[in-house]
């Protein structure tokens, strides 16, 4: 201790002599001293102590990379200091009141030393301090009042320490704090209580910690926050309202966590977000409108996310997207059509190291791109990527390349051109071959489709036929009596005797549906199927008694016929849609003859018996 005081006294005497003799100061060996700009740089010069023989008016001192261990009574001579860099030394404590005279100090860097604790008065006197860097130490404890004198502080870096939490009230007096760096600490949760004391905070770095969940209270109301870095934690869940109180957030980094899907709901609250990093999360797939309400998103990174499927509308809301990176998704084998066509300002697309066998120009707006990276994909060099071959060739012939393509890394993977660069192939080799399997499948599909259509046609046709009635008259019809000759009685009374008797309401069938009553030798009226109308009947005495032109008086339909006689029956069907004075058109004319012997068998009926007109056509009487 006495030796230390002796050294200090010698240095103090040397300084006083230098001042009294008009010398501006003594510059240590291997240091660079600039008296004009009042700067001293002693980087990695092997100093064990802070030199005190420098110009007392010095403003900037850099002692990084030396072996300084103590700061005790070393800066009392430099009251005008503005920046002091003590990084990468062997300092194990900051002590107390070692900066009492540094009222003008703006930046203090004590990073990468061996400091373990920060005492209550460690920064006493640093009333103007704006930047404090304590990163890279082994700090485990900080007094909650350690920063009470640094009310002007704007940037605090506590990264790469051993802090598991921050003491309550540590940021209480930091009304102007804008940047807080806490990455690479074993923090188990976000320091919500301290964040609530810093509404002016703009940049918050919580990367490389042990944060598992983000709740509503994890991030207090930070209306000025612009950048939030939560990369490389162990976050596996984010509540829907976790980002509700971050209205102005522009950049969010969630890379390197354990998210298994895109947190669409909480992200949709960040309507001003312009950059989002979700790389190295096991997302698996991108669902429809995965980035909902992120209309201002311009930069999206989804590298190494084990993405195997992307919905065609995953980026439907991201109309202002400018850059997207999907590098390293080795399970991604195809992209949907027009997946990025809605991004009208898209400038950069990176699809390196995926498993894409083909790329289509309809998947993104090629005309607006400035950079397209697709190296490391197992591309099939055929007609499907000829457009890419054309793009690379056209860019090679330009004086100034408009589109940057990693053409040297785009290599073919098919058997014919395996290992060859796409750009080295002639255009004629980029053709598509249809495999026999594909052709056979296509032919089979055509045959199956044709057979199905024919089967459908047959089925519909049969169904229509089943629905049709036994007989459907195309036009109104009238059943009439048919006779021969022109000497028929024209009076109404004679016609009335020939009216066709109407039976009960049944279907109108063909003439052959009447059943025969064998016992009565006459048609049975109890049969199920018979004509709607019973036709008049008349009997001929014999074939020799027939007189030409003379109408034989028919019997009534209710009379019982002689079973041993020969009988003739005739009727016609005519159109009476527009019945006037002229006779209507005859549509159908039927003639039936029946004969029987004297046995009990039913008569033999001939429905196709010839109709002998005998000089004149039959005279048709319409009833």
Domain contains 452: no
What pLDDT was estimated at residue 197?
92
> Among 117-126, 410-419, 424-433, which range has the highest average pLDDT?
117-126
Q: Is 461 helix (H, G, I), strand (E, B) or coil?
A: helix
Domain contains 302: no
CB 453 within 8 A of CB 420: no
Domain contains 222: no
At 392, is the pLDDT very low, low, confident or very high (cuts 50, 70, 90)? confident
Where in the sequence is the domain holding 541, given as residue range(s)? 477-621
> Which two structure tokens, joined as six digits, stand for 69?
């261990």
CATH at 153: 3.80.10.10
User: Which of 177, 210, 243 is the last residue in one of the domains?
Assistant: 210
Domain contains 286: no
Domain contains 462: no
User: Which of 167, 186, 210 is the last residue in one of the domains?
Assistant: 210
Domain contains 383: no
User: Which of 186, 210, 234 is the last residue in one of the domains?
Assistant: 210
Q: Tally the domains of the chain.
A: 2
Q: Measure the CA–CA gap between 604 and 597, rounded to whole angstroms.
A: 9
Q: Which of 318, 324, 388, 320 is nearest to 358 (CA)?
A: 388
Domain contains 525: yes
**Could you tell me which residue, 566 or 258, shows the higher pLDDT?**
258
Helices (H) and strands (E) in the chain, counts: 6, 33
Q: Which of 244, 344, 337 is nearest to 298 (CA)?
A: 344
C-alpha pair distances (Å), 23 with each of 11, 26, 57: 15, 8, 12
> Which two structure tokens, joined as six digits, stand for 579?
């019945």
Cβ-proximal residues to 398 (8 Å cutoff; 6+ apart), any chain: none
> Among 66-70, 359-363, 435-439, which range has the highest average pLDDT?
66-70
Domain contains 270: no
C-alpha pair distances (Å), 50 with each of 41, 86, 386: 12, 9, 68
Q: What is the pLDDT of residues 189-218, one digit of tens each?
A: 999 999 999 999 999 999 999 999 999 999
Kindly state the average pLDDT of the residues 225-249: 96
The helix or strand, by DSSP H or E, that contains position 300, with its residue range, turns out to be: strand 299-301
Q: Among 29-33, 146-150, 254-258, 543-547, whose mean pLDDT is lowest?
A: 543-547
């Amino acid at each position: 201790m006495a030796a230390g005081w002796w050294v200090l006294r010698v240095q103090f005497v040397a300084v006083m002599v230098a001042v009294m003799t008009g010398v501006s100061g003594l510059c240590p060996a291997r240091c660079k001293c600039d008296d004009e700009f009042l700067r001293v740089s002693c980087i990695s010069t092997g100093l064990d102590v802070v030199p005190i023989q420098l110009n007392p008016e010095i403003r900037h001192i850099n002692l990084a990379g030396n072996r300084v261990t103590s700061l005790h009574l070393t800066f009392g001579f430099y009251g005008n200091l503005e920046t002091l860099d003590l990084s990468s030394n062997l300092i194990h404590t900051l002590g107390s009141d070692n900066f009492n005279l540094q009222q003008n100090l703006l930046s203090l860097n004590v990073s990468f030393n061996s400091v373990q604790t920060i005492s209550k008065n460690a920064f006493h006197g640093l009333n103007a301090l704006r930047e404090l860097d304590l990163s890279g130490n082994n700090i485990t404890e900080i007094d909650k009042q350690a920063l009470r004198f640094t009310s002007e502080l704007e940037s605090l870096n506590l990264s790469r320490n051993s802090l598991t939490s921050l003491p309550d009230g540590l940021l209480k007096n930091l009304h102007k704090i804008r940047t807080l760096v806490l990455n690479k600490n074993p923090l188990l949760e976000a320091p919500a209580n301290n964040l609530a004391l810093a509404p002016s905070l703009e940049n918050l770095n919580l990367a490389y910690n042990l944060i598992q969940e983000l709740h509503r209270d994890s991030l207090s109301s930070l209306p000025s926050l612009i950048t939030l870095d939560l990369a490389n934690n162990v976050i596996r869940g984010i509540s829907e309202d976790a980002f509700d109180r971050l209205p102005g957030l522009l950049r969010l980094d969630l890379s390197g966590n354990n998210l298994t899907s895109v947190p669409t709901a909480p992200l949709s609250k960040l309507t001003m977000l312009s950059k989002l990093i979700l790389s190295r999360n096991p997302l698996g797939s991108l669902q429809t409108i995965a980035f909902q309400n992120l209309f201002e998103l311009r930069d999206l990174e989804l590298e190494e996310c084990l993405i195997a499927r992307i919905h065609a509308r995953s980026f439907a809301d991201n109309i202002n997207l400018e850059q997207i990176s999907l590098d390293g998704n080795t399970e991604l084998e195809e992209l949907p059509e027009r997946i990025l066509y809605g991004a009208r300002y898209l400038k950069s697309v990176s699809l390196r190291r995926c498993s894409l066998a083909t790329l289509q120009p309809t998947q993104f707006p090629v005309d607006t791109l400035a950079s397209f990276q697709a190296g490391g994909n197992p591309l099939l060099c055929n007609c499907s990527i000829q457009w890419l071959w054309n793009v690379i060739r056209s860019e090679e012939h330009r004086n100034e390349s408009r589109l940057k393509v990693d053409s040297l890394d785009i290599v073919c993977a098919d058997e014919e051109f395996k290992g060859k660069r796409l750009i080295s192939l002639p255009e004629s080799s980029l053709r598509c071959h249809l495999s026999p399997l594909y052709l056979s499948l296509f032919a089979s599909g055509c045959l199956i489709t044709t057979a199905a259509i024919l089967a459908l046609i047959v089925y519909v046709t049969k169904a229509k036929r089943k629905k049709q009635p036994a007989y459907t008259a195309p036009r109104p019809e009238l059943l009439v009596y048919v006779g021969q000759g022109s000497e028929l009685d024209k009076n109404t009374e004679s016609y009335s005797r020939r009216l066709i008797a109407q039976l009960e309401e049944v279907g109108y069938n063909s003439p052959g549906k009447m059943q025969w009553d064998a016992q009565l030798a006459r048609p049975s009226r109890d049969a199920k199927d018979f004509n709607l109308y019973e036709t008049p009947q008349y009997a001929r005495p014999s074939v020799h008694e027939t007189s030409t032109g003379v109408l034989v008086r028919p019997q009534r339909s209710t009379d019982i016929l002689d079973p041993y006689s020969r009988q003739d029956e005739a009727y016609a069907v005519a159109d009476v849609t527009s019945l006037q004075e002229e006779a209507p058109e005859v549509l159908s004319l039927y003639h039936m003859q029946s004969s029987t012997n004297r046995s009990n068998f039913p008569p033999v009926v001939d429905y196709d018996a010839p109709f002998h007109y005998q000089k004149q056509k039959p005279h048709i009487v319409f009833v």
